[in-house]
């Protein structure tokens, strides 16, 4: 599938890859392409770093808020957009609070959940809670949001996988025997909190409370009790999101660079994806050294350059400068050749010799819409203009 058609047809696009390869930059660039194609897109970053705002040249981006880049703003920066582009950064606490607001209709019960200290811990990015919140947010935006395309920018590889595995993990936990054994009587009676506390003289609780304090156990018990009615909803949404992610409406974009260690991580990620029956829609090799333009035939360029430099320096210096430039040109050609060989190896090693989209290394870092537009044109307009 070409990147252009991925942007033109998909509903969810998850951008994944090793650290620092350009995931966030590309997610923003793909957002611009969606706006150019006239598709209403939201780029949602689940990485707590401010890189998405930085790539777009925004001073701030408050986590949890949606920021709109109007069609005019994009046009003024040289992007031939037909629609606005929206961006947002996940706020774990806000997502989980919104989730409770949606799921719990009884205001008193809702209040008790939100005020429970254990809920507070969940919102403080307890291990896995960010990935879980991301999963819920994506599901909610996909089903209820008014976007044609949701582009998800993930944190580096392993955390990216955490996010992908969040639905499965929820299902594992909910379907796990010991969990059922522990929870079912409580779920049936709705009295887990009471039961745990009734055991408070027991060995397990006595031992646990030494470490955590009895108040923590009380909070946890009350929390599980309050949460028990929500578990079926978690299960259903986890199943639903897992199937949405495996349909044709969703694609994964594996980003890498020609660097062999990055390619290795990319292959690893690819294997993990296929184990979950999630094939990447495309593999993108970013920051590929472009082949320098060929020098005109000698002696023309040498004569022209010598002529241009002669006014500034003596013959010896001219000779040295011309030689240095020739060497620099040769080095750039060698680096470009090396990247091409590395890319060929990457293609060979991917299953079915997957298509690898090349994105050139620009000569400067990307910190505004103009820079992103340069990258977009380099990726998308080649066959189009
Ligand atoms: N094609 C490119 N040409 C030039 N610079 C690029 C290109 N792509 C990305 N960069 C630069 O590389 C740096 C890293 O990019 P980015 O933050 O998008 O990577 P990332 O994969 O999201 O990183 P992390 O894993 O930390 O989230 C940035 O400074 C960005 O400007
Ligand atoms: Mg990033």
Q: Hey, which residues does 68 pair with through a beta bridge?
A: 86
Instruction: Give all strands of the β-sheet with 66-69 in edge-to-edge order.
Output: 66-69, 85-89, 41-45, 149-153, 12-16, 250-256, 280-288, 356-360
* 141 CA → ligand 2 middle, Å: 21
**What's the pLDDT score for residue 376?**
96
Q: CA 246, 252, 257 angle in degrees (round to 5)?
A: 155
Q: Which of 61, 366, 369 to mutate to test the pocket of ligand 1 (most atoms within 8 A of CB)?
A: 366
The domain defined by 3-175+230-291+353-380 folds into Rossmann fold (3.40.50)
* 298 CA → ligand 1 middle, Å: 38
Residue 359 near ligand 1, beta carbon < 6 Å? yes
* 44 CA → ligand 2 middle, Å: 11
Q: Which residues of the chain have pLDDT under 50?
A: 177-201, 204, 383, 385
Residue 24 near ligand 1, beta carbon < 6 Å? yes
Residue 56 near ligand 1, beta carbon < 6 Å? no
**How far is the CA of 93 from the CAs of 122, 138, 200, 222, 299, in angstroms?**
8, 15, 31, 19, 67
Alpha helices (runs of H) in the chain, residue ranges in sequence order: 3-9, 23-36, 51-55, 71-76, 92-103, 107-115, 117-123, 129-144, 157-175, 177-189, 192-198, 203-212, 214-227, 231-246, 260-275, 300-310, 315-349, 369-380
Q: Is 285 helix (H, G, I), strand (E, B) or coil?
A: strand
* 285 CA → ligand 1 middle, Å: 12
**What's the pLDDT score for residue 167?**
65
- Between CA 309 and CA 306 the distance in angstroms is 5
* 76 CA → ligand 1 middle, Å: 24
**What's the pLDDT score for residue 199?**
44
Q: Hey, which residues does 67 pair with through a beta bridge?
A: 87
**What's the pLDDT score for residue 234?**
79
Instruction: Pick the residue whose CA is nearest to atom 2 on ligand 1.
Output: 361
- Between CA 232 and CA 235 the distance in angstroms is 5
Instruction: Pick the residue whose CA is nearest to atom 4 on ligand 1.
Output: 362
Instruction: Pick the residue whose CA is nearest to atom 25 on ligand 1.
Output: 19
* 50 CA → ligand 2 middle, Å: 9
**What's the pLDDT score for residue 117?**
78
**What's the pLDDT score for residue 6?**
92
């Amino acid at each position: 599938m070409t990147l252009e058609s991925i942007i033109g047809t998909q509903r969810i696009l998850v951008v994944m890859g090793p650290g620092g390869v350009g995931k966030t930059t590309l997610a923003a660039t793909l957002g611009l392409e969606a706006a150019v194609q006239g598709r209403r897109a939201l780029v949602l970053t689940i990485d707590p770093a401010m890189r998405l705002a930085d790539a777009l040249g925004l001073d701030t981006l408050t986590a949890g808020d949606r920021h709109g880049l109007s069609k005019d703003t994009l046009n003024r920066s040289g992007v031939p957009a037909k629609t606005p582009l929206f961006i947002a950064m996940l706020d774990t606490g806000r997502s989980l609070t919104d989730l409770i607001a949606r799921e719990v209709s009884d205001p008193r019960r809702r209040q008790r959940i939100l005020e429970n200290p254990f809920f507070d811990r969940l919102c403080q990015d307890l291990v896995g809670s960010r990935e879980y919140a991301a999963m819920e947010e994506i599901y909610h935006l996909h089903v209820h949001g008014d976007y044609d395309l949701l582009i998800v920018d993930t944190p580096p590889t392993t955390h990216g996988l955490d996010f992908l595995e969040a639905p499965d993990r929820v299902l594992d936990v909910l379907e796990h025997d010991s969990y059922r054994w522990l929870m079912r009587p409580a779920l049936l009676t709705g009295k887990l909190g009471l039961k745990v506390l009734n055991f408070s003289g027991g060995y397990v609780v006595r031992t646990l409370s030494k470490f955590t304090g009895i108040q923590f156990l009380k909070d946890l018990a009350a929390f599980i009790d309050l949460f028990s009615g929500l578990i079926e909803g978690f299960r259903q949404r986890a199943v639903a999101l897992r199937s949405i992610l495996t349909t044709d409406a969703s694609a994964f974009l594996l980003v890498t660079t020609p660097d062999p260690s990055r390619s290795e991580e990319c292959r690893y990620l690819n294997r993990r994806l296929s184990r979950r029956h999630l094939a990447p829609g495309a593999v993108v090799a970013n920051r590929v050294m472009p082949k320098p333009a060929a020098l005109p035939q000698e002696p023309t360029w040498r004569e022209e350059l010598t002529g241009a430099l002669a006014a500034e320096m003596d013959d010896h210096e001219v000779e040295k400068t011309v030689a240095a430039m020739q060497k620099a040109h040769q080095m750039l050609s060698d680096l470009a050749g090396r990247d091409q060989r590395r890319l060929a190896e990457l293609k060979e090693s991917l299953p079915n010799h997957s298509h690898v989209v090349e994105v050139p290394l620009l000569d400067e870092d990307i910190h505004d819409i103009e820079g992103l537009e340069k990258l977009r044109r380099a990726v998308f307009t080649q066959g189009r203009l």
